[in-house]
Structure 1
């Protein structure tokens, strides 16, 4: 059995606000890991600072085979796997690549008159999401499959 084809992307829960530390620790052990982030400007009383904010709160994606799944628990900050229908939740490689491309590019959803509660298809991810907030052209939606929040602009 070829180990390359048997590897999958699994979703791992982390302790709150420990996503980027867990990514560093897992990478140091040789595990392929991905945690989508975006840059935000945060205001403090004396300064503004750009920081990296994880898009999947308390979650990271790890690329492992079924036999290697327990290796993540050797790292501090890992809590458990996300389960779907009694099995470890898997994310396809295409979805991970699409997420990376989506974060590298700004997309607009060509719809007008969007309302909270509407279901939209997020470009490139090809995932359905439910609108949570609409303020002018800026929209925030939650992906149905993994529950991640995405933001986009309607045209």
Structure 2
């Protein structure tokens, strides 16, 4: 989806563990970028520490027009655009906003898995929370998890829901 500025969201690959550095460098260049992070507790040898861990390993999102692609790729640590169907993958504004909204929820927790590891199963509808009325495909999981497919990224968000927040979608 394209907004009225002509800018679209794209995902770029970064060097391993460079997500936050690349995000900062892009912003210093005036490029609108986003590296979604979630807070998690990390155990060190002598203490526990809360860290901000990138949600998508080796990915940063950029909101750019075609003229800014060179500026993005010339950023130290940025490797290439994520491709889907032989073109840079355009991420829908709604997908970005959904992830941003969910990460604002108290105790939000998302685990990301590569889509290619899973097969499609039942369709479900989420009945509570920020994802309310969203439809997803259960690709793998038990009574507490549903995998929400982001087709353009070839990634799956694993969002933990209580089983009572999900119901099978009736197909007529």
TM-score (norm 2): 0.71
Q: How does 1:1-155 map to 2 (within 5 A)?
A: 5-105=5-105, 119-120=123-124, 123=131, 126=134, 128-134=136-142, 137=144, 139=145, 141=147, 143-145=149-151, 146=153, 147-154=155-162, 155=164
From the superposition, tell whether residues 125 and 91 of structure 1 become closer, same or farther in structure 2 (CA, over 3 Å). farther
* Counterpart Cα distance in 2 of 1:32 and 1:52: 20
Question: Tell me, which stretches of 5 or more residues in structure 2 are unaligned?
Answer: 109-120, 165-172
Report if the CA contact (8 A) 1:41-1:48 is conserved.
yes
* Deviation (angstroms), 1:143: 2.5
Runs of 4+ in 1 over 6 A off after TM superposition: none
For the residue of structure 2 that corresponds to 1:67, the secondary structure is helix
How far has the Cα of 1:56 moved from its partner? 1.1
Aligned residues: 143
**Matched residue of 1:68: which SS?**
helix
User: Cα–Cα, structure 1 residues 99 and 5, in superposed 2: closer, same or farther, change >3 Å?
Assistant: same
Structure 1 unaligned segments of length 5 or more: list them. Answer: 108-116
Distance 1:52 1:148, change over 3 A: farther
TM-score, with structure 1 as normaliser: 0.78
**RMSD of Structure 2 on Structure 1 (CA):** 2.7
